[in-house]
Chains A and B, each alone.
Chain A
Amino acid sequence: MAVQNILGFEKPIIELEKKISEMRKMADKFDISNEINKLESKVNSLRKEVFENLTPWQIVQLARHPERPYSLDYIYLMTENFIELHGDRRYSDDKAIVGGFAKLGEETVMIIGQQKGRDTKSNIYRNFGMPNPEGYRKALRLMKLAEKFNKPVITLIDTPGAYPGIEAEERGQAEAIARNLFEMSKLQVPIIAVIIGEGASGGALGIGLGDRVLMLQYCWYSVISPESCSSILWRSWDFKEQAAESLKLTSQDMLKLKIIDRIIEEPEGGAHRDHEKAAAILKGVLVEELAGVKKIKKEKLLDSRIKKFGEMGFWKE
């Protein structure tokens, strides 16, 4: 797809790709297949070199790429018969969290995700993917529906954080997140959580407690954004690269720290370069993982879920 927003480190790759596609257009008039092949192998090795040596900060940038597929993109590309359900039945309908029943392969699932916007207007509509308490309560309501009808839950995590607003505090942002963690621990159907973009702190975790926690390759997950970490610990916004490094927030780090179960590979150059392919890969993994969690006996499901999170952490005594 045509890329509009180009990150600094992507630039040489995308320029070469452009050159190749221009040359392809001339290929029926001139014999330049040798040159094209040469350039192709050049761009492949360049891409490989750049993407194998991404810094944590570059990964944060990829996770935030404005052309990255968002929850609804994945839902529409991966599932059929999606029916979006709205509202928390208590206050309102939070547009920063979407969800509903859908068919994933053969299976009906409840799929819930945080939703960002693509432009200013849709970002304001989606509150930049920052849920209010009613978003978490809507998510919980949908999970309870899934439980009632014995359908597995899939959550897609992509948020710069729970919204730190006055009304959000009034309506109990902390309580809404805590309640979700509490109730998700007791939910009688399998839960698979996938970090598809940004996994910022409690706002991400609020729909992130699952029997399996997966993460796309170029995402970040941490207790704070690199910018806020920099401003608190270094008292300046200028140390975000260093903070990203220190926070150990990449998918590789998460796997090492035993916080996630699996990394899902992205298409070459990142999910934003090929939405269809990214969704196809994710769908394949989800179908496989669903088959796995469905095998866990019901009476063991909750114990193993609580045990999984109970084992997280590092200490000495």
Chain B
Amino acid sequence: MTMAWFKRSKENISTTAPKKENSDGNWIKCSECGEMIHKVQWESNLYSCINCGHHFRIGSQEYFGIILDEGSFKEIDKKLRSVDPLEFTDTKPYKKRVEESIKSTELNDAIRTGTGKINGIDVVIGCMDFGFIGGSMGSVVGEKISRAIDKAIKTKNPLIIISSSGGARMMEGAVSLMQLAKTSSKLAKLDEEKIPYISILTNPTTGGATASFSMLGDINIAEPKALIAFAGPRVVKQATGKDLPDGFQKSEFLLEHGFIDFIVSRKDLKEKLTQLLKLISG
């Protein structure tokens, strides 16, 4: 993220840029503490608040920029697109929903996968985009993860998946449910090959993603204060009629209950991954 000061602003308007929370021109208001942050500061602080450290939601473009060595990312299976196996229509046809999302996000679906280097270490990487139909997992997400795992097996390079997902894609019904089985069983194969898989859980990672590949890392890492859940807080509250405990389903809560290995700030993410990968393969 060096040189950010001198780059043309146009390059910074990434297709996967997060919603600017209360943005006003070049100033962004932190949704957590209200701090006004200049865009340049915000970007150089890796899209987190300079005052409270709140991690703004970002997309695959930004994550690849943060984690991978510059220019090392080579996308694979870019052209995969959703079809409409159920001919599903709710308030609008699923086909149309997909088309509109492709147009507005300039992405083809809710995950991008490829190869890259982290401080010189070759990895296979996937990163979800919450901006694409809530980061929901349908056939395309399942197939791309499955192929990324194949790639990791073939190249014997570690696999890293960054999750942010509202769960399985309802508009693909049981077909989307089967993507939980598909990704998990492929990970079982990766496991047999003893190739490391690091799962990075970001805000939010819920439902079908959490109940499959996101929770199955050899190492599970979370960003601070990310919502990580099976059933989201609203569903739990509705089902139980109880008040939810403080910090319920946040990264820190999951760390405390033993489901993630550690929490890492975005600014330390690349270094921590490097350290970990060196320890494992060293």
> A residues near B, CB below 8 A?
162-166, 168-175, 177-179, 181-186, 199, 201-202, 205-206, 208-209, 221-224, 229, 232-234, 243, 246-249, 253-254, 257, 259, 305-306, 309-310, 312-317
Contacts and interface: CB of A to CB of B under 8 A. Distances in A.
21 contacts: A164-B240, A165-B239, A166-B242, A168-B231, A169-B229, A169-B236, A174-B214, A174-B229, A177-B212, A178-B210, A185-B185, A202-B180, A209-B185, A223-B168, A223-B169, A243-B90, A306-B186, A310-B146, A312-B142, A315-B143, A317-B80
A312 B175 contact: yes
A312 B175 CA distance: 7
Q: Considering the complex of A and B, which 8 residue pairs feature the smallest CB-CB distances, nearest first?
A: A313-B139, A164-B231, A181-B184, A185-B185, A174-B210, A174-B230, A233-B90, A185-B188
A315 B82 contact: yes
B175 A174 contact: no
A168 to B, nearest CB: 7
Contacts of A257: 85-86, 173-175
Contacts of B191: 182, 186
Contact of A310 (B140, B185, B212, B248): B185
B91 interface: yes
A317 B77 contact: yes
Given A175-B259, A248-B173, A182 B187 contact: yes
Contacts of A233: 90-91, 170
Interface centre among A177, A179, A246, A310 (most CB of B within 10 A): A310
A313 B179 contact: yes
B189 A306 contact: yes
B276 interface: no
B264 interface: no
Nearest to A177: B211
Contacts of B113: none
Nearest to B213: A178
A314 B185 contact: no
Contacts of A178: 180, 184, 210-216
B183 to A, nearest CB: 8
B178 interface: yes
B257 interface: yes
Nearest to A239: B90
A312 B210 contact: no
Interface in B123-147: 138-140, 142-143, 146
A305 B89 CA distance: 32
Nearest to B234: A164
B249 interface: yes
Contacts of A162: 230-231
A174 B90 CA distance: 27
Interface of B: 77, 79-83, 85-86, 88-91, 138-140, 142-143, 146, 168-170, 172-182, 184-189, 191-192, 207-208, 210-216, 229-231, 235-236, 239-240, 242, 244-245, 248-249, 253, 257-259
Given A169-B236, A174-B210, A181-B180, A314 B175 contact: yes
Given A178-B215, A185-B185, A247 B173 contact: yes
Given A178-B184, A233-B90, A173 B231 contact: yes
A265 to B, nearest CB: 21
B180 A234 contact: no
Nearest to A208: B181
Contact of A174 (B138, B215, B235, B244): B215
A202 B174 CA distance: 10
B267 to A, nearest CB: 28
A178 B245 CA distance: 24
A304 to B, nearest CB: 11
A164 B230 contact: yes
Given A165-B239, A172-B259, A181-B212, A222 B139 contact: no
A259 B178 contact: yes
B173 A313 contact: no
Contact of A309 (B83, B181, B259): B181
A170 B185 contact: no
A38 B83 CA distance: 51
Contacts of A166: 236, 240, 242, 244-245, 248
Given A177-B230, A223-B172, 9 more contacts: A164-B239, A165-B239, A165-B240, A168-B231, A178-B216, A181-B185, A185-B185, A246-B173, A309-B178
Contacts of B215: 172, 174-175, 178-179
Contacts of B82: 315
Nearest to A232: B170
Contact of B216 (A179, A208, A309, A312): A179
A239 to B, nearest CB: 8
A301 to B, nearest CB: 13
A310 B180 CA distance: 10
Given A233-B91, A259-B175, A315 B83 contact: yes
Contacts of B239: 163-165
A208 to B, nearest CB: 8
Contacts of A315: 80-83, 139-140, 143
A18 B123 CA distance: 70
A200 to B, nearest CB: 10
Contacts of B180: 177-178, 181, 202, 205
